[in-house]
Amino acid sequence: MATNFFVQLRELRLYNGLRREQLAKLIGVDKGVISKYENGTRQPSFEILVRLANLYRVSTDYILGQTSNRSVDIYGLTEQEAALVCEFVETLTKKNEIINNM
Protein backbone atom coordinates (compact mmCIF):
# COMPACT_ATOMS: atom_id res chain seq x y z
CA MET A 1 0.00 0.00 0.00
CA ALA A 2 1.54 3.28 -1.06
CA THR A 3 -0.98 5.86 0.14
CA ASN A 4 0.37 9.21 1.23
CA PHE A 5 -0.17 10.29 4.82
CA PHE A 6 -2.28 13.29 3.84
CA VAL A 7 -4.64 11.16 1.75
CA GLN A 8 -5.00 8.57 4.51
CA LEU A 9 -5.61 11.21 7.16
CA ARG A 10 -8.40 12.84 5.16
CA GLU A 11 -10.01 9.48 4.42
CA LEU A 12 -9.95 8.52 8.10
CA ARG A 13 -11.47 11.85 9.12
CA LEU A 14 -14.26 11.56 6.57
CA TYR A 15 -14.87 7.89 7.36
CA ASN A 16 -15.33 8.81 11.01
CA GLY A 17 -17.64 11.70 10.17
CA LEU A 18 -15.44 14.38 11.68
CA ARG A 19 -15.06 17.97 10.57
CA ARG A 20 -11.59 19.48 10.58
CA GLU A 21 -12.56 21.62 13.58
CA GLN A 22 -13.60 18.55 15.55
CA LEU A 23 -10.45 16.63 14.72
CA ALA A 24 -8.27 19.60 15.61
CA LYS A 25 -9.94 19.92 19.01
CA LEU A 26 -9.64 16.19 19.70
CA ILE A 27 -5.90 16.07 19.08
CA GLY A 28 -5.06 19.54 20.42
CA VAL A 29 -4.07 21.47 17.31
CA ASP A 30 -5.46 24.39 15.33
CA LYS A 31 -7.98 23.75 12.55
CA GLY A 32 -5.55 25.24 10.03
CA VAL A 33 -2.98 22.62 10.98
CA ILE A 34 -5.40 19.86 9.95
CA SER A 35 -5.83 21.56 6.58
CA LYS A 36 -2.06 21.67 6.14
CA TYR A 37 -1.75 17.99 7.07
CA GLU A 38 -4.44 17.05 4.56
CA ASN A 39 -2.92 19.22 1.83
CA GLY A 40 0.51 17.70 2.37
CA THR A 41 2.16 21.01 3.26
CA ARG A 42 2.90 20.05 6.87
CA GLN A 43 3.72 16.84 8.70
CA PRO A 44 2.68 16.03 12.27
CA SER A 45 5.03 15.49 15.15
CA PHE A 46 5.40 11.95 16.46
CA GLU A 47 3.17 12.90 19.39
CA ILE A 48 0.37 14.06 17.09
CA LEU A 49 0.78 10.98 14.89
CA VAL A 50 0.26 8.77 17.96
CA ARG A 51 -2.77 10.83 19.01
CA LEU A 52 -4.28 10.32 15.56
CA ALA A 53 -3.62 6.58 15.66
CA ASN A 54 -5.21 6.32 19.10
CA LEU A 55 -8.20 8.40 18.08
CA TYR A 56 -8.91 6.34 14.98
CA ARG A 57 -7.91 3.04 16.62
CA VAL A 58 -5.40 2.24 13.89
CA SER A 59 -1.65 1.77 13.81
CA THR A 60 0.70 4.57 12.89
CA ASP A 61 1.78 2.39 9.97
CA TYR A 62 -1.80 2.46 8.68
CA ILE A 63 -1.98 6.25 8.87
CA LEU A 64 1.38 6.53 7.13
CA GLY A 65 0.19 4.22 4.35
CA GLN A 66 2.68 1.48 5.14
CA THR A 67 0.03 -1.19 5.69
CA SER A 68 -3.59 -1.79 4.82
CA ASN A 69 -4.24 -3.48 8.18
CA ARG A 70 -6.31 -1.13 10.35
CA SER A 71 -6.14 -3.16 13.54
CA VAL A 72 -3.70 -2.80 16.39
CA ASP A 73 -1.76 -5.95 17.27
CA ILE A 74 -1.88 -6.65 20.99
CA TYR A 75 0.08 -9.90 20.74
CA GLY A 76 2.55 -10.20 23.57
CA LEU A 77 0.58 -8.06 26.03
CA THR A 78 -0.44 -9.45 29.37
CA GLU A 79 -4.15 -9.99 30.01
CA GLN A 80 -4.19 -6.89 32.17
CA GLU A 81 -2.52 -4.80 29.45
CA ALA A 82 -4.91 -6.15 26.81
CA ALA A 83 -7.86 -5.30 29.07
CA LEU A 84 -6.55 -1.74 29.40
CA VAL A 85 -6.29 -1.44 25.61
CA CYS A 86 -9.88 -2.65 25.25
CA GLU A 87 -11.05 -0.21 27.92
CA PHE A 88 -9.28 2.63 26.12
CA VAL A 89 -10.93 1.64 22.83
CA GLU A 90 -14.35 1.62 24.50
CA THR A 91 -13.71 5.07 25.96
CA LEU A 92 -12.73 6.49 22.57
CA THR A 93 -15.74 4.86 20.92
CA LYS A 94 -18.10 6.46 23.46
CA LYS A 95 -16.39 9.82 22.98
CA ASN A 96 -16.78 9.57 19.21
CA GLU A 97 -20.45 8.68 19.59
CA ILE A 98 -20.96 11.83 21.68
CA ILE A 99 -19.15 13.94 19.08
CA ASN A 100 -21.16 12.44 16.22
CA ASN A 101 -24.38 13.31 18.05
CA MET A 102 -23.41 16.98 18.47
* Higher local confidence (pLDDT), 72 or 6: 6
Residue 66's alpha-carbon distances to 30, 40, 75, in angstroms, are 26, 17, 19
Q: What is the mean pLDDT of residues 2-23?
A: 88
**Tens-digit pLDDT profile for residues 19-50:** 999 999 999 999 999 999 999 899 999 999 99
- CATH number of the domain within which 29 lies: 1.10.260.40
Confidence of residue 12 (pLDDT cuts 50, 70, 90): very high
**67 vs 36: CA distance, rounded Å:** 23
57: containing domain: 5-73
Tally of structural domains, the chain: 1
Q: Is residue 24 part of a domain?
A: yes
Q: Is residue 95 part of a domain?
A: no
Q: Is residue 96 part of a domain?
A: no
The continuous run of DSSP H or E covering 59 comes out as: none
pTM for the full predicted model: 0.67
